[in-house]
Structure 1
Amino acid sequence: MSKDNLRFNSKLIHGGQIPDKAFGAIVPPIYQTSTFKQDSLGVNKGYEYSRSGNPSRAALERSLTSIESGNFGFAFASGLAAIDAIMKLLNPGDEVISANNLYGGSHRLFTQIYQDKGVKFHFVDVGDPNNISPLINDKTKLIWIESPTNPLLHIVDIKKIANKSKKHQVLLVVDNTFASPYLQRPLALGADIVMHSATKYIGGHSDLVMGALVVSDESLANKLYFIQKATGAVPGAMDCFLALRGIKTLALRMERHCENARSVALFLESHPSVEKVYWPGLKSHPGHGIATSQMKDYGGVVSFVVQDDSREAVERVVSKFELFSLAESLGGVESLAAHPASMSHGAMTKQAREEMGVTDGLIRLSIGIEDKEDLIADIENALKS
């Protein structure tokens, strides 16, 4: 059986992997080396310097390519390094249409780095794909979306936006971090580039920082490889080993994340101290139908607003958590609680945050794989405050 024809769970274990020729190791070795011996001038065994290529990174990139159903994969030192590589495809005067609900780090990179270098950004509600059309002109080079979004879990119809991007020959990038390849594969829905903060669900154990890109088009892949090699924001061999290990349990973890998130979201939705709950699996969520059509399940992140929507109320709640750790990031096996207004979106102005919907009373929960009864008990105790 060809590894190209494997079903998804089998791809997580075998996809893109080549048997170790030296000793037959089942797990790809960690090539903790900066350079490689050359047989003669210009002749090597496929690798010359670990910035341009390393067998451990290559094994990870092949796996990422396989599970995202793409043709070319690239690993970077962080999610923002991966985003930065995409931005380097642009030139001064180019325009980008971006979702107005997105990760604060992406917003910061766009507005405080690349906008100053002459790239123009239009932030718009892409929940209605018709909002995009009036902004497209001959300078538009890129459309940037997340689905689900960070931290409000808005859902974007990827296929509809892909139809518009293809019509106007504009690249569509989808940040697939919150869904993971297990729940959603944007390339199959028409995207040109899928991006991940592999720190999150792909790694899955809160022990690495990494970004990833997967594409199908060879010309685009060649440009991204040149940027990756020329700028050098690549992960080390040990981090690649950890990410590859994480991928092998992605399906099992995501099933438990989603199961637990469902129970937590339903509990929060009925709690009198909670004003609003964001989770696309709830039938009350405005994007529930689209999420059902393009995702396998609804993800492991649940966000909610406490009743009086204040930072003081949030401080009282998070101080009472015992299982949930107050911490940045998400997607690990342990449950985390974050305050987007002061963490992931803290670099934005209060006005910009609130226009996005990120208020002071918003808490984002990354639901781990613990027993759901214990998680709910922890939340219930915290909300008593």
Structure 2
Amino acid sequence: MDVVDGSGHPEPVDLARTRMATRAARLGRPPHRPDQPFNEPITMASVYAAGGELEYGRYANPTWSAFEEALGGLEGGRCLAYPSGLSAVATLLDLVGHGEVVVAPKHAYLGSLTQLGDLELRGRLKVRLVDVTDTAAVVAACEDAALVWMESPTNPAMEVADLPAIAAAAHDAGARLVVDNTFATPVLQRPLELGADIVLHSVTKYIGGHSDLLMGAVVVADEQLWTVLKQRRDSFGNVPGTLEAWLALRGLRTLPLRVERAQASAQELVRRLAERDDVVEVRYPGFGGMLALVLDSGPRADLVQHSTRLWVYATSLGGLESTLERRRRWRSEPETIPEGLLRLSVGVEDVDDLWDDLVQALDSARL
């Protein structure tokens, strides 16, 4: 029997006690009342009548708030949305004091490394790059650091870090740990539960999932840190578009389904690719829809990415569509990334169709 509140309506389910797929489907929705919409509407407003909590369009928006409630609930913290992943990156790096040390992966999202390199070049901070698979080296590098920046898996090398051990080392040094969780998503990894202080997302990727928006997000567990970040967002106007927030929330609804499908297909593709003698190496962290395969040369990898018919040659990832890209085509990609490495983002297409297309591309690129 339903428990009924004083209004005669059943009391809502405590979504914090439900599982991931249920929370993704239900968090951030208006109360279910007669004639109320199922979804949070797009609120197009730059100003609100005074006397309430909203006040002005730079401070809050009901559509942002619905998205932030949903993603925060999935990650286990409080969320703030930003106009892009890189704007969120810049916000977090702004927490670092002048001349302080940031520990970061030598293989990571190129935009993050570019920002770190620019800030170091200008004398704003010091960067200490590490191999995230060498936990002892990462722990040693944390000494005197102010911020430890991790990706796991790393982009595009697919390396996995020991996040609990690194979190402990960061905290022993008095540093905060940021984990970019774009590849794993909260469906597969919840960094706050592993000791991280801050979780970062390029919402453009898996969270949005449809290749139709630019947005970023930060999730924290500490209320004081959330307040600091919120005040800075208010001051700098680093806010997302309302339509983008609405699209991101719509995409988040199917995140568990998409991740489950992409992961199953990725694991099957990894199994089949490992049997080909023309693939030098297959890199897969063991979970998720991202993988990399290494061919014997850059030219051959170029031929493959230009020969696929179903896989889309594109630099983004995490969408419904499967994409691939030779990462060393970008001059600023670290030299330790093999010339022949192709990063693959597995979408929701039939795995046999994806395999057939990869096979014909690999076969056509035999030199």
| Fold match (TM-score > 0.5) | yes
Identify the residue that residue 175 of structure 1 maps to in structure 2: 180
Q: CA deviation at 1:22?
A: 10
Tell me, yes or no, if structure 1 residue 34 matches structure 2 residue 46: yes
1:291: which partner in 2? none
Once residues 85 and 320 of structure 1 are traced to their aligned partners in structure 2, the CA distance between those partners, rounded to angstroms, is 39
> Is residue 2:18 matched to residue 1:6?
yes
Query: In structure 2, do the counterparts of structure 1 residues 130 and 322 end up closer, same or farther at CA, with 3 Å as the change threshold?
Result: same
How far is the alpha carbon of 1:347 from its aligned partner?
Answer: 3.0
Deviation of the 1:126 alpha carbon: 2.4
C-alpha displacement at 1:48, in angstroms?
Answer: 2.0
The question of 1:113 aligning with 2:100 is answered no
Give the superposition deviation at 1:302: 1.4
Alignment counterpart, residue 309 of structure 1, candidates 291, 297, 313: 297
Cα distance change, pair 74–21 in 1 and its aligned pair in 2 (3 A): farther
Letter in 2 for 1:378: D
Cα displacement (A) at 1:230: 1.6
CA deviation vs aligned residue, 1:220-259 (integer Å, no higher than 9, x gap): 1111112211222221111111110111101110010001
Q: Aligned partners of 1:21 and 1:328: how far apart in 2?
A: 43
The residue number in structure 2 matching 1:376 is 355
Q: Quick check: 1:12–1:249 contact (8 Å CA) kept in 2?
A: yes
Provide the residue aligned with 2:99 in structure 1.
93
How far apart are 1:114 and its partner, in Å?
A: 5.0
Displacement of 1:314 in angstroms is: 1.7
Q: How has the CA–CA distance of structure 1 residues 325 and 87 changed in structure 2, closer, same or farther, with 3 Å as cutoff?
A: same
Report the number of matched residues: 352
Q: d(CA) in 1 for partners of 2:174 and 2:164?
A: 15
Secondary structure, in 3 states, of the residue corresponding to 1:365?
A: strand
Q: Which residue of 2 aligns with 1:60?
A: 67
For 1:292, the equivalent position in structure 2 comes to none
Q: CA deviation at 1:335?
A: 0.6
Identity of aligned residues (%): 38
Aligned residue number for residue 299 of structure 1: 288
Deviates more, 1:11-20 or 1:243-252: 11-20
Deviation at 1:21, TM superposition (A): 8.0
SS of the residue aligned with 2:285?
coil
Q: Name the counterpart of 1:256.
A: 261
Counterpart residue identity of residue 175, structure 1: D
Equivalent residue number for residue 122 of structure 1: 128
Q: Secondary structure at the match of 1:274?
A: coil
Of structures 1 and 2, the one scoring higher in RCO (CA 8 A, sep 6+) is 1
Offset, 1:167:
2.1
Q: Which moved more, 1:312-321 or 1:100-109?
A: 312-321
Q: Which runs of 5+ in 2 are unaligned?
A: 1-12
Question: Of 364, 378, 385, which residue of structure 1 is paired with 2:343?
Answer: 364
Paired residues for 1:1-385 under 5 Å = 1-19=13-31, 24-38=36-50, 43-44=51-52, 46-70=53-77, 72-138=78-144, 140-281=145-286, 298-306=287-295, 308-310=296-298, 312-343=299-330, 346-348=331-333, 353-355=334-336, 358-385=337-364
Residue identity matched to 1:157: D
Distance 2:315 2:354 in 1: 18
SS in 1 for 2:155: coil
Q: Report the Cα distance in structure 2 between the residues aligned to 1:319 and 1:126, rounded to whole angstroms.
A: 32
SS in 1 for 2:329: coil
| TM-score normalised per structure 1 | 0.88
Aligned-partner SS, 2:327: coil
CA contact (8 A) 1:304 1:364 kept: yes
1:249-306 Cα offsets, whole Å, 9 max, x none, are 011100100011011111211112111111122xxxxxxxxxxxxxxxx010111111
Which amino acid in structure 2 is aligned with residue 97 of structure 1? V
What secondary structure does 1:199 align onto?
A: coil
| CA root-mean-square deviation | 1.6
Which residue matches 2:6?
A: none
Q: Are residues 118 and 21 of structure 1, via their aligned partners in 2, closer, same or farther at CA, if it must alter by over 3 Å?
A: farther
Provide the C-alpha distance between the structure 1 equivalents of 2:230 and 2:33, rounded to a whole number of angstroms: 26
2:79, 2:303 → 1: CA distance? 43
Judging changes above 3 Å, is the alpha-carbon distance between structure 1 residues 315 and 136 closer, same or farther for their aligned structure 2 residues? closer
SS at match of 1:302: strand
Instruction: Point out where structure 1 has 5 or more consecutive residues left out of the alignment.
Output: 282-297
Instruction: Give, as a single letter, the amino acid of the residue that structure 2 aligns with 1:181.
Output: P
Letter in 2 for 1:223: V
2:10 alignment partner in structure 1: none
CA distance in 1, matches of 2:183, 2:210: 15
Counterpart Cα distance in 2 of 1:341 and 1:230: 38
Structure 1's 54 and 268: CA in aligned 2 closer, same or farther, altered over 3 A?
A: same
User: Offset at 1:59?
Assistant: 0.6
Which letter does structure 2 place at the counterpart of 1:248? R
| Conservation of the 8 A alpha-carbon contact between 1:275 and 1:304 | yes
For the structure 1 residues 371 and 144, does the alpha-carbon distance in structure 2 shift closer, same or farther, using more than 3 Å as the test?
same
